[in-house]
């Protein structure tokens, strides 16, 4: 009846009893959660929250919810990072050095990696996809609005499940990709590994659902006249990134499912006995893991290809080569996975092959860097916050790429493998390449979503803190790696390492200041929304000036239906062409617009999948059966009620909404 709760080995509440840090965190999170609930009730927001957000199928609102989830998880993952840096700065000596016991420290580095990749980067990515893609291709919504809602809620339940492990039971102590046999029952008998498996399976399912949606949206719903080679580069990168997701997430799903079979059913895939082979898991997981890097970084490249031309007031240099570089990366990204474990002992032929392909993949990436540089060349560059993030990205990412080429040399890799040099390298590419670009995109598209720009000074401060903080936090790790420090050290006995760890900690705190600046920016924006009682007034369509793509042709924030008239695209950079030809915005004569209805099925399916995950972790078999059957029942029920789904927004309503925008433009004297 109570599954593993009655099993003392599962340590259901031991972290709360013996780890004051965990106890205080859980209490603090509980209080914040309670205050939020009280706030919502006092302001009477439950109705609007349910109607406008939880059950929404509007891609713009779902996009905003994804970004909020990602920012919350960023803070969670970043606190883990700060704790590790603070711990390592003082952890010289024995096991009792520092303030984190080994068991807790191991959980923290596992949670940090897992949360940052699966519950921070991926939701932020899908947030941007959701908000921007339909607007850029001139569509009124994504191909499958219900699936969009469902995917969000399953992601959310995955995130809640992984955070539940803080309070109830443990989290895994296995590193972010959970290599067996340590992650088998023999190495990780308690609930931590099961939290890991099921929360990531949920995230994987949601990501796959999202990818199906975006591939279908981009292929089938582009505005008339927008051929593939007239799509903005961000759409191209999104398409390829989602194709990659469709090809690699099944591999991850299988790898985790097989590991779960080992753990739950006593099978022998990755065990040391019974003919199992742990290296098989490591191969599967990196067949997923390496392309996943490109899933994250390709859209980052896409963001730069949007932001750099806007703030250079020039068209993107080398559009065609950009697209081909993306396609080449798609193919090559499948041919490099073994470079994550040259030390497997694959032999000279295997290592040489993967070493060479790894070096080759630097070529299309370099093409992109040159294209952005040539876009800026002789451009009229404006150093607004999004452009600063882009410049920081180009500078930093090239450096990260160079150390990547160092790691790709197999004999040298035997030295670098699992050292802090490696840790510094992948943070160099992921923070420098992915995080900086996503922030560029976030700041760039923020005024599209809310009508106002984020505070400029705070934005520049945020960038400078991240930029300086990054170099301070990670360059000492390169040096430490070369001095022989391995990753995931709970303590070390070499006192000459300590100064470097202290510098790295200072860097992490400077990054924390950057995050604080972003939080302040957001608080200012929330205050603005609060003053307008949540109904944001429309603002000009092109706040940055010189924007080139279709999302900037409609009001900020856009109306629910996006485009009153579906644009007719004739060239690349469709909105730029409209401005150049001086085509006028249509102000009357609108038709009725078909809109999809809201649905609560996604929310309930998400909630039930959280219960399912929790029941699987704690071996509550009756609850597993009950919640699984309920999920299927909800989806089937939805299929029966959704037939009569959708309604028409009358042309009168459309006229009213468009008139607001016309009035605003006229009041500002803008001709459009």
Partner 1 sequence: MSEPIQVENHCIHDHDSTKIFGFWIYLLQDLFLFATLFANMAVFSASYDIGPSGRDFIDLTFVLVETVLLLVSSITYGFAMIQLHRNSLVGMQIWMTVTFFLGLTFIMMELYEFNHLIHAGAAPWVSAYWSSFFVLVATHGAHVTGGLLWMICMFVHLSWDGLNTNNRTRMTCLSLFWHFLDIVWIGVFTLVYLLGAL
| Residues near partner 1, by CB under 8 A | 139-141, 143-144, 208, 211-213, 215-216, 219-221, 223-224, 246-251, 253-255, 257-258, 261-262, 265-269, 273-277, 280, 284, 565-566, 591-594, 632, 636, 639-640, 643, 645-646, 648
Could you tell me if 149 and 602 are in contact, meaning their C-beta atoms sit under 8 angstroms apart?
Answer: yes
Specify the residue, 31 or 254, whose C-beta has the smaller distance to partner 1. Answer: 254
CB of residue 68 vs partner 1: minimum separation in angstroms? 26
Alpha carbon distances (Å) from 633 to 204, 445, 604, 640: 21, 38, 11, 11
CB of residue 130 vs partner 1: minimum separation in angstroms? 16
- What CA–CA distance (Å, rounded) separates 361 from 364? 6
Which residue do the tokens 């995950």 mark?
613
Specify the residue, 127 or 596, whose C-beta has the smaller distance to partner 1. Answer: 596
Specify the residue, 484 or 646, whose C-beta has the smaller distance to partner 1. Answer: 646
Specify the residue, 95 or 592, whose C-beta has the smaller distance to partner 1. Answer: 592
CB of residue 481 vs partner 1: minimum separation in angstroms? 33
Helix (H) or strand (E) holding 649: strand 647-649
Specify the residue, 266 or 484, whose C-beta has the smaller distance to partner 1. Answer: 266
Among 438, 321, 436, 444, which residue's Cα sits nearest to residue 375? 321
- What CA–CA distance (Å, rounded) separates 173 from 187? 10
- What CA–CA distance (Å, rounded) separates 208 from 204? 6
CB of residue 274 vs partner 1: minimum separation in angstroms? 5
Helix (H) or strand (E) holding 647: strand 647-649
CB of residue 590 vs partner 1: minimum separation in angstroms? 10
CB of residue 237 vs partner 1: minimum separation in angstroms? 18
| Sign of the dihedral through C-alpha 337, 341, 347, 348 | positive
Among 104, 101, 82, which residue's Cα sits nearest to residue 91? 101
CB of residue 478 vs partner 1: minimum separation in angstroms? 35
CB of residue 636 vs partner 1: minimum separation in angstroms? 6
Specify the residue, 244 or 608, whose C-beta has the smaller distance to partner 1. Answer: 244
Specify the residue, 59 or 85, whose C-beta has the smaller distance to partner 1. Answer: 59
- What CA–CA distance (Å, rounded) separates 239 from 233? 10
- What CA–CA distance (Å, rounded) separates 624 from 628? 6
Specify the residue, 545 or 646, whose C-beta has the smaller distance to partner 1. Answer: 646
Angle between helical axes of 601-617 and 192-220 (0-180°, round to 10): 150
Among 599, 610, 594, 593, which residue's Cα sits nearest to residue 639? 599
CB of residue 298 vs partner 1: minimum separation in angstroms? 18
Specify the residue, 81 or 624, whose C-beta has the smaller distance to partner 1. Answer: 624
DSSP summary character for residue 488: S
589 sits in the region (left: phi over 0; alpha: psi -120 to 50; else beta) called: left
CB of residue 448 vs partner 1: minimum separation in angstroms? 20
Alpha carbon distances (Å) from 149 to 120, 180, 234, 600: 18, 34, 22, 9
Among 185, 190, 306, 177, which residue's Cα sits nearest to residue 238? 306
Specify the residue, 131 or 144, whose C-beta has the smaller distance to partner 1. Answer: 144
CB of residue 284 vs partner 1: minimum separation in angstroms? 7
Specify the residue, 204 or 299, whose C-beta has the smaller distance to partner 1. Answer: 204
CB of residue 557 vs partner 1: minimum separation in angstroms? 20
- What CA–CA distance (Å, rounded) separates 633 from 47? 26
Specify the residue, 352 or 591, whose C-beta has the smaller distance to partner 1. Answer: 591
CB atoms inside a 10 Å sphere around CB 254: 12
- What CA–CA distance (Å, rounded) separates 415 from 94? 25
Strands (E), 588-660: 593-595, 647-649
Helix (H) or strand (E) holding 594: strand 593-595
């Amino acid at each position: 009846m109570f599954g593993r709760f009655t099993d003392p080995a599962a340590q259901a509440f031991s972290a709360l009893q013996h780890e004051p840090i965990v106890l205080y965190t859980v209490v603090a999170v509980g209080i914040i959660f309670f205050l939020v609930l009280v706030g919502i009730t006092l302001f009477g927001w439950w109705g609007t929250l349910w109607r406008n957000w939880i059950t929404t199928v509007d891609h713009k609102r779902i996009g905003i919810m994804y970004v909020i989830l990602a920012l919350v998880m960023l803070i969670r993952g970043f606190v883990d990072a700060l704790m590790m840096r603070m711990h390592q700065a003082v952890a010289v000596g024995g096991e009792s050095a520092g303030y984190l016991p080994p068991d807790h420290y191991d959980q923290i580095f596992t949670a940090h990696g897992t949360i940052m990749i699966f519950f921070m980067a991926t939701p932020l990515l899908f947030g941007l996809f959701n908000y921007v893609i339909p607007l850029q291709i001139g569509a009124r919504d994504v191909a499958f609005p219900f699936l969009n809602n469902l995917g969000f809620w399953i992601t959310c339940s995955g995130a809640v499940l992984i955070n539940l492990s803080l309070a109830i039971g443990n989290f895994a102590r296995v590193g972010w990709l959970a290599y067996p046999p340590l992650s088998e029952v023999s190495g990780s008998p308690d609930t931590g590994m099961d939290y890991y498996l099921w929360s990531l399976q949920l995230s994987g399912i949601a990501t796959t659902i999202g990818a199906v949606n975006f591939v279908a949206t981009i292929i089938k719903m582009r505005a008339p006249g927008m051929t593939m080679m007239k799509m903005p580069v961000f759409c191209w990168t999104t398409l390829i990134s989602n194709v990659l997701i469709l090809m690699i997430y099944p591999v991850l799903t299988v790898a985790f499912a097989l590991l779960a079979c080992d753990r739950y059913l006593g099978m022998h895939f990755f065990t040391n006995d019974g003919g199992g082979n742990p290296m098989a898991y490591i191969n599967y997981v990196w067949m997923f893991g390496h392309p996943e890097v490109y899933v994250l970084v390709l859209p980052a490249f896409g963001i730069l290809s949007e932001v750099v031309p806007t703030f250079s007031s020039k068209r993107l240099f080398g559009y065609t080569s950009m697209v081909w570089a993306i396609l080449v990366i798609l193919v090559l990204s499948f041919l490099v996975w073994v470079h994550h474990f040259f030390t497997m002992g694959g032999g000279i032929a295997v290592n040489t092959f993967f070493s060479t392909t790894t070096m080759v993949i630097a070529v299309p990436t370099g093409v992109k860097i040159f294209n952005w540089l040539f876009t800026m060349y002789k451009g009229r560059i404006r150093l607004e916050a999004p452009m600063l993030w882009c410049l920081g990205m180009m500078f930093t990412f090239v450096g990260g790429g160079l150390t990547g080429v160092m790691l790709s040399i197999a004999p040298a890799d035997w030295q670098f493998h699992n050292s802090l040099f490696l840790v510094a390298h992948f943070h160099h590419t992921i923070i420098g390449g992915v995080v900086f670009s996503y922030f560029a995109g976030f700041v760039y598209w923020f005024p599209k979503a809310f009508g106002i720009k984020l505070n400029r000074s705070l934005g520049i401060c945020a960038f400078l803190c991240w930029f300086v903080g990054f170099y301070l936090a990670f360059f000492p790790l390169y040096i430490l790696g070369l001095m022989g420090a391995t990753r995931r050290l709970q303590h070390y006995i070499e006192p000459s390492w300590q100064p470097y760890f202290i510098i790295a900690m200072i860097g992490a705190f400077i990054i924390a200041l950057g995050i604080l600046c972003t939080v302040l920016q957001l608080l200012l924006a929330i205050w603005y929304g609060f003053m307008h009682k949540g109904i944001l007034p429309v603002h000009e369509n092109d706040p940055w000036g010189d924007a080139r793509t279709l999302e900037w042709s409609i009001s900020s924030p856009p109306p629910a239906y996006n485009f009153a008239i579906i644009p007719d695209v004739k060239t690349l950079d469709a909105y730029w062409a409209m401005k150049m030809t001086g085509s006028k915005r249509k102000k009357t004569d609108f038709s009725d617009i078909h809109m999809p209805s809201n649905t609560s099925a996604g929310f309930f399916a998400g909630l039930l999948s959280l219960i399912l995950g929790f029941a699987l972790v704690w071996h509550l078999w009756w609850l597993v059966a009950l919640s699984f059957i309920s999920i299927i029942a909800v989806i089937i029920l939805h299929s029966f009620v959704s037939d009569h789904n959708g309604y028409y927004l009358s042309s009168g309503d459309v006229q009213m909404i468009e008139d607001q925008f016309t009035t605003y433009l006229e009041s500002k004297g803008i001709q459009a």
